Homo-oligomer: A and B are copies of this chain.
Amino acid sequence: MTDKKPTQRTADHNIEPLILNRRSPRAMSGEEVTEAELKQLFEAARWAPSCYNAQPWKIFYARHNDEHWQDYFDLLVEFNQGWCQHAGCLIVLASDTIFPHNQKFSPTHSFDSGAAWQNLALQGSAMNLVVHGMAGFDYEKAHSLLNLPETYQVQEMIAVGRPGALDQLDQGLRDDELTPSDRNKASTFVFNGKYQAK
């Protein structure tokens, strides 16, 4: 690729490069993502912590050429379909809202599944894959399409693919790709003791 390299992020405090450099790019090549690679991503999700070690995360996926692809693709809003056509895999991540050990509601099912998602994203970044989480899809249709049990809650969709050329993206998205998203300073969300307006 002759594409320009994205600018690098700078951390205010020294942290693991894996954490700082994980991003959510959109440019993908259309090449396949193998079952073996997906298994590495799912394995990373597997080792997240969860309340009572209940492991509420559930992962549903379609690879680009399998029989489920079109159904998954059709869940996405048009904007996401634009760039996800080059993905190798689409994932629906859901959570079980019920603790398996006592069949009661788990107040942490979303939070714990977010931890598993982050493991998956970091693992993909370490493998130089594009891993991009999305809320822009039809949650209800996803629940129904996948025949999810009533106790399952859809959390997000994820596009996985190999990095691709930027010229497939519109100019605005190309700029996003070259300038990694920033974050609020930690001082805006960290409080010693009690909350106070900042």
Residues of A within 8 A of B (CB): 9, 11-16, 18-20, 22, 24, 36, 39-40, 42-49, 51, 53, 55, 57-63, 66-68, 107-108, 110-119, 121-123, 126, 133, 135, 145-149, 152, 155-156, 181, 183-186, 189-196
Kindly report which residue of chain B lies nearest to residue A189, judged by CB atoms. B58
Q: Are A111 and B113 closer than 8 Å at their CB atoms? A: yes
16 new A-B pairs (CB below 8 Å) besides A14-B40, A22-B47, A62-B193?
A: A11-B47, A12-B39, A13-B36, A14-B43, A15-B44, A20-B47, A45-B186, A46-B186, A48-B118, A51-B133, A55-B184, A66-B193, A68-B193, A118-B118, A146-B193, A146-B194
Q: Are B146 and A195 closer than 8 Å at their CB atoms? A: yes
Complexed CA–CA distance, A19 and B127 (Å):
13
Q: Are B186 and A43 closer than 8 Å at their CB atoms? A: yes
Q: What is the total number of copies of this protein in its complex? A: 2
Q: How far is the CB of A167 from the nearest CB of chain B, in Å?
A: 25
Kindly report which residue of chain B lies nearest to residue A112, judged by CB atoms. B114
Q: Are B16 and A18 closer than 8 Å at their CB atoms? A: yes
Chain A to chain B: the 8 pairs with minimum beta-carbon distance, closest first:
A114-B114, A110-B110, A115-B118, A118-B118, A111-B114, A68-B193, A13-B43, A42-B186
Complexed CA–CA distance, A171 and B168 (Å):
60
Q: A43-B186, A118-B114, A184-B55 are in contact. Are A192 and B16 (CB under 8 A)?
A: no
